[in-house]
Amino acid sequence: MRVLVTGGAGYVGSVSVEGLLRAGHTVTVLDTLVTGHRAAVAPGAELVVGTLSDASLVAGLLRSKGIEAVVHCGARSLVGESIANPALYYRENVAGGVALLEALREVGVDRLVFSSSAAVYGAPDSAAVDETAVLRPINPYGETKRAFEGALTWYGRGHGLRAVALRYFNVAGASQAFGEHHQPETHLIPNVLAGAAGGTPVTIMGTDYPTPDGTPVRDYIHVEDLSDAHLAALELTAAAPPGLEVCNLGSGSGFSVWEVLRAAQEAVGAPIPHEVGARRAGDPPVLVATNDRARDVLGWTPRRGTLQEMIGSAWRWRQAHPQGYAEG
């Protein structure tokens, strides 16, 4: 199949492109490179530098490449930035997303997989969240993900779009070739590993949560498992009736910040410098996905769910790319 991947030069997109190519698909990547990297686009995929907000550019690409389905990873995804600059998030994630949908509608492409987020739930009442939980985002980033999911529902009803929104929890790990390189980096595991490599010591934000060891518990999913879920979701859009299917992507259980730090120390083979700081506003004690729906609907369960696999692969990638993608 011929697939367009928006954001295919980013962390999640790069590994998903790799998975799509391995599965025999032909891939075009559309990316502004605003947070992505040219070197993160797998050989074999074609990179077009441009924005998904440009409906005429996208429509031209869909036609000229004969695109049959879209994996939509391209977005702004920094919570703090979204609070400081909500307009950017509404413009890129909502208005830009709708421009993409208009291009699909114009050309008659009716299959899309969307990188949504657990941020749509906000700070849920129960620790284990299923897809029926109330959507109450607590920042513009989560709100824009929720809004775009809404657009997908209405494009399904009105225009026959078949879409799957995958609500990722915390993505971690690396493939052999592609890993996580964000600037700034806000995710725990790369920041712990940066501390191990002589960078800024990581700050543990709060040790007085009502959890077994006092630190927050989060659900982590290996980026290659996520790539597998993208493939399964793409297949689902072939058979599904028009509309939006929504699946959490998580492991169904979680790891605390101390557990992550300990596993990272084992992977690195040395103590990792860290500091204990205050809680971050809005962080719930426990946030874990139920993943029954992904299992039932996509036939997907995580296969690389241990901290050893996730942190070990991230550390190996970091050692092979000490400057991230900056070197090339």
Ligand X SMILES: NC(=O)c1ccc[n+]([C@@H]2O[C@H](COP(=O)([O-])OP(=O)(O)OC[C@H]3O[C@@H](n4cnc5c(N)ncnc54)[C@H](O)[C@@H]3O)[C@@H](O)[C@H]2O)c1
* CA distance linking residue 209 with residue 192, whole number of Å: 20
Q: Label residue 181 exposed, middle or buried (CB < 10 Å: 0-12, 13-18, 19+).
A: buried
Residue placing its CB nearer to ligand X in the complex, 88 or 214 = 88
- Rg of the chain's alpha carbons, rounded to an integer? 19
Binding characters for ligand X, 11-30, by CB under 6 A (x = yes)? xxx----------------x
For 240, other C-beta atoms within 10 Å of its C-beta total 17
Residue placing its CB nearer to ligand X in the complex, 171 or 257 = 171
Q: Which of 19, 28, 32, 314 binds ligand X (CB under 6 A)?
A: 32
Q: Which of 28, 61, 62, 96 binds ligand X (CB under 6 A)?
A: 96
Q: Which residues contact 31 (CB under 8 A, 6 or more apart)?
A: 6, 7, 8, 9, 10, 13, 41, 47, 48, 49, 50, 74
Residue placing its CB nearer to ligand X in the complex, 269 or 327 = 327
For the CB of residue 116, give the shortest distance to ligand X in the complex, in Å.
7
By CB under 6 A, which span of 47-55, 81-89, 309-317, 319-327 interacts with ligand X?
A: 47-55
Q: Which of 23, 26, 48, 51 binds ligand X (CB under 6 A)?
A: 51
Q: Which of 7, 254, 305, 312 binds ligand X (CB under 6 A)?
A: 7
H or E element that contains 144: helix 140-159
Binding characters for ligand X, 53-92, by CB under 6 A (x = yes)? x-------------------xxxxx--------------x
3-class DSSP state of 33: coil
Backbone angles phi, psi at 29, to 5 degrees: -105, 130
Residue placing its CB nearer to ligand X in the complex, 173 or 210 = 173
Residue placing its CB nearer to ligand X in the complex, 168 or 258 = 168
* CA distance linking residue 31 with residue 128, whole number of Å: 34
For the CB of residue 149, give the shortest distance to ligand X in the complex, in Å.
12
Q: Which residues are annotated as catalytic?
A: 141
For 84, other C-beta atoms within 10 Å of its C-beta total 11
Q: Nearest Cα to 156, choosing from 106, 101, 93? A: 101
For the CB of residue 74, give the shortest distance to ligand X in the complex, in Å.
3
For the CB of residue 76, give the shortest distance to ligand X in the complex, in Å.
6
Task: Count residues binding ligand X (CB under 6 A).
Answer: 30
Q: Which two tokens stand for residue 9?
A: 């030069």
Q: Nearest Cα to 112, choosing from 36, 28, 11, 6? A: 6
Residues between 101 and 160 with contacts to ligand X, criterion CB under 6 A: 115, 117
For the CB of residue 75, give the shortest distance to ligand X in the complex, in Å.
3
Q: Classify the C-alpha dihedral 174-177-182-185 as positive or negative.
A: positive
Which single residue is written with the structure tokens 């659900």? 219
Binding characters for ligand X, 149-188, by CB under 6 A (x = yes)? -------------------x-xx----------x------
For the CB of residue 153, give the shortest distance to ligand X in the complex, in Å.
18
User: Which positions touch ligand X (CB under 6 A)?
Assistant: 6-7, 9-13, 30-36, 51-53, 73-77, 92, 96, 115, 117, 168, 170-171, 182
